Each structure stands twice: as structure tokens, then as C-alpha cells.
Chain A
Amino acid sequence: MAEFLFFLLSALCVGGVLGLILSRNAAYAALWVVLSFAALGALFGLLDGPFIAVVQIIIYAGAVMVLFLFVVMMIPLRPSAPSPKRKVFVAASLLLTACLAALIFLSLSASRGTSAAPAAPGFGGVRGIGRLLFTDLLYPFEITSLVIMAALVGALILAKKRKSP
């Protein structure tokens, strides 16, 4: 059952990214990525991380991607003129990506770990992560609020309509 869920969700995930690559319409591409990220959230749930799963779906698939969709709708994206070098470029990108994938899989297969024991009850729940965030990781957690504040002010200043200089 768990294996079936894993294969279904990973197919959704990979299919969503393929949809991003293949779709011509930017809004559809963003929606494909929403599907992919939601499936990824379910995969986090499968990996004993219920809190991270919920955060992924609410913040990533919800908030961030809706922001992307807003910007997609504000910018008119016209299809670009076909260039003669396009095929060569796509072939070169495929080759590069294949090399990178080979590297990644070599390094991942080198990291043989112990076979996973079943998780302790409550692993990845709000209680455990909250305790970790407010004890060991307190400073990074507080600094995150500064980062968000800076991003908020920066985005406002950048996107503000200014008088022509």
C-alpha cells in the first residue's frame, strides 16, 4: 500500500515538473508546479513528517505559487520567435543535465546508510519540531523573522511605482 502511494505520488511529482518543461502557457506551467509541490507535500507525510507536509502544502503550494500566478497574470508572456539554434541548445541542455544526474546518482549511491528503523511515535510532529525550534535552533528561528522582514520591505520598495527620474 505504501509502495503504491509512493509510486503514485512520485509520478505526480515528476509529471508536474515535466508539465512545467513542456507546457507553452506560463499559467499552466505554474499550475503544473502546484500539482508537483502538493504531491511532494504528501511524500513528506509518507516520510513521517506531518508538520513539514502541512507547511509545504500551505506555504509552498498555497502562498508562494499563488504569488507566482499573480505575477504570471500581470506580465504578458508572448511566445518567442523560433531561433535556428534552438535544437542545438536543447540537445546541449539535455546532455548537461544527463551528466549532472549521473553525478548526483553516483554520490547518492555512495551514501549507504543503516536500514531505517521504524520512527518513534510522534516523530516529525508539531511537538518535536516546536521544541527543537525554540531550544537548539532558537537563534536561526529569530533571525528568520528578520529575513522575512527584510524581504517584505525590499519587495515593497522594488515593486513600488516610482516617479520617472
Chain B
Amino acid sequence: MIPASWFLALSGVLFALGVLAFLIKKDLLLMFLAVEVMLNAANLAFVAFARRHGLLEGQAAVFFIITVAAAEAAVGLAIILLVFRRKKTVKADEISVLKG
């Protein structure tokens, strides 16, 4: 039986790596991918706490997070496509004006 704290530690490591990837990457697309990694780290923490306390609500929360993340990915990718169509680039450094 693996203690739940190991999973919590792994989720912390994954979240920190996601933040690092978000800071280092320059493409909007890869920054978005890093956000997904952070979401998944939070999911792992939810499931670990559900296991530790023997409650199913944590897993139900993960179910909701996954569905909302799928919706968010669809809208986010559509926005990135739109930005690319207007600016011909998806580098975050080069998209510095708010005017369309």
C-alpha cells in the first residue's frame, strides 16, 4: 500500500514543472500545454486526497475538472488560431498590443 503523501509529493513536483514550462516557453500553444500540466497535477492531488479520506467526492471533482478542461482547451485553441490568423505569429513576445 503506497502512502497518499507520495502521490501528493508527485503532484507538487508536476505542478512546479508546469509552472516552469509556462514561464520558459515562448509559444502561446506550449504555454497553454503547460497550463494543462498544472491542471493535471491538481487532479492528482484531488484523487490522492479522495483515497486518503475514503471519499468519492474527490474523484467526482476530477471528473468535472476534466470536462471543463476539455471545453477550455477547445475555446483556448480557437482563440490561438484566431490570434495566429490576425498576427501571423503565436510568440507571446511579439503579441504586445491589445488592439486587434
Contacts and interface: CB of A to CB of B under 8 A. Distances in A.
Interface of A: 2-3, 6, 10, 13-14, 17-18, 20-21, 26, 29-30, 33, 36-37, 40, 43-44, 46-49, 51-52, 55-56, 59-60, 63-64, 67-68, 71-72, 74-75, 77, 80, 89-90, 93-94, 96-98, 100-101, 104-105, 108, 111, 113-120, 123-124, 128-129, 132-133, 136-137, 140-141, 144, 147-148, 150-152, 154-156, 158-159
A129 B14 contact: no
Contacts, number: 212
A160 to B, nearest CB: 9
> For chain B, what secondary structure do more than half of its interface residues adopt (helix, strand, loop), or is it mixed?
helix
A121 B91 CA distance: 50
Given A44-B47, A75-B80, A114-B52, A56 B66 contact: yes
Interface of B: 1-10, 12-21, 23-27, 29-30, 32-34, 36-37, 40, 43-44, 47-54, 56-57, 59-60, 62-64, 66-75, 77-82, 84, 90-91, 93
A30 B49 CA distance: 28
